[in-house]
Amino acid sequence: MRMGEELLPQELAGLVDVHGATADRRVFSDPLIFELEHERVFGRAWLYIGHESEIPAVGDYVTRRMGRDPVILVRSAADRVDVLLNSCPHRGAMVCLADAGNGRGFICPYHGWAFANDGRLVATSVDDALYQGKVDMRRLDMRRAAKVATYAGLIYATWNPDAPALDDYLGEARWFMDVFFQRTPGGMVVLGAPHRWEIGVNWKIGPINFAGDGPHFTQLHGPIAHVTQGIERPVLQAALKAATAIRFGHGHNGVAQLSPADQPAAWLGLDPALVPLMRRALSPAQLDVRARLVQGVCTVFPNHSWTHNPVSFRSDEPPVSFLAMRVWQPVAVDRTQVWNWFLVEKEASESWQRKAALAGLRAFSVGGTFDQDDAETWDAMGRALAARTVDGQRISFEAVLAHRERPDPTWPGPGETFDTGYAEGSEFDVLCEWQKYMSKP
**Site residues, ligand FES (CB under 6 A):** 88, 90-91, 93, 108, 110-113
Contact present, 420 and 214 (Cβ < 8 Å) = yes
Orientation of helix 214-229 relative to helix 369-385, angle to 10°: 150
- The option from ligand FES, Fe ion, none interacting with 93 (CB < 5 to 8 A, set by class) reads ligand FES
Give 142 or 191: the residue with its C-beta nearer to ligand FES.
142
| Residue 325-364 contact track with Fe ion, rule CB under 5 A, x = bound | ----------------------------------------
Report, in Å, the least distance between residue 305 CB and Fe ion.
11
Alpha-carbon span 326 to 207, nearest angstrom: 9
Specify the DSSP class assigned to residue 127.
Answer: -
The full DSSP string for 284-336 is HHHHHHHHHEEEEEEEETTTEEEEEEEE-SSTTS--EEEEEEEEEEEEETTEE
Residues between 360 and 379 with contacts to Fe ion, criterion CB under 5 A: 374
Phi, psi of 44 (to 5 degrees): -125, -35
Phi, psi of 176 (to 5 degrees): -75, -35
Report, in Å, the least distance between residue 239 CB and ligand FES.
55
> Minimal CB distance to Fe ion: which residue?
374
Specify the DSSP class assigned to residue 171.
Answer: T
- The option from ligand FES, Fe ion, none interacting with 374 (CB < 5 to 8 A, set by class) reads Fe ion
* H or E segment to which residue 48 belongs: strand 47-51
- CA-based nearest residue to 257, from 410, 361, 61: 410
Q: Is 144 helix (H, G, I), strand (E, B) or coil?
A: strand
- The total of other beta-carbon atoms located within 10 Å of residue 2's CB is 11
Phi, psi of 155 (to 5 degrees): -100, 125
Give 108 or 245: the residue with its C-beta nearer to ligand FES.
108
Give 8 or 129: the residue with its C-beta nearer to ligand FES.
129
Give 115 or 176: the residue with its C-beta nearer to ligand FES.
115
Residue 150 β-bridge partners = 155
- The option from ligand FES, Fe ion, none interacting with 33 (CB < 5 to 8 A, set by class) reads none
Give 96 or 400: the residue with its C-beta nearer to ligand FES.
96
Give 90 or 226: the residue with its C-beta nearer to ligand FES.
90
Report, in Å, the least distance between residue 211 CB and ligand FES.
40
Alpha-carbon span 378 to 46, nearest angstrom: 26
| Residue 5-34 contact track with Fe ion, rule CB under 5 A, x = bound | ------------------------------
Alpha-carbon span 161 to 44, nearest angstrom: 9
- The option from Fe ion, ligand FES, none interacting with 111 (CB < 5 to 8 A, set by class) reads ligand FES
Report, in Å, the least distance between residue 202 CB and ligand FES.
33
Report, in Å, the least distance between residue 181 CB and ligand FES.
37
Report, in Å, the least distance between residue 89 CB and ligand FES.
8
If one asks whether residue 427 binds Fe ion (CB under 5 A), the answer comes out as no
User: Residues in the site for Fe ion, rule: CB under 5 A?
Assistant: 374
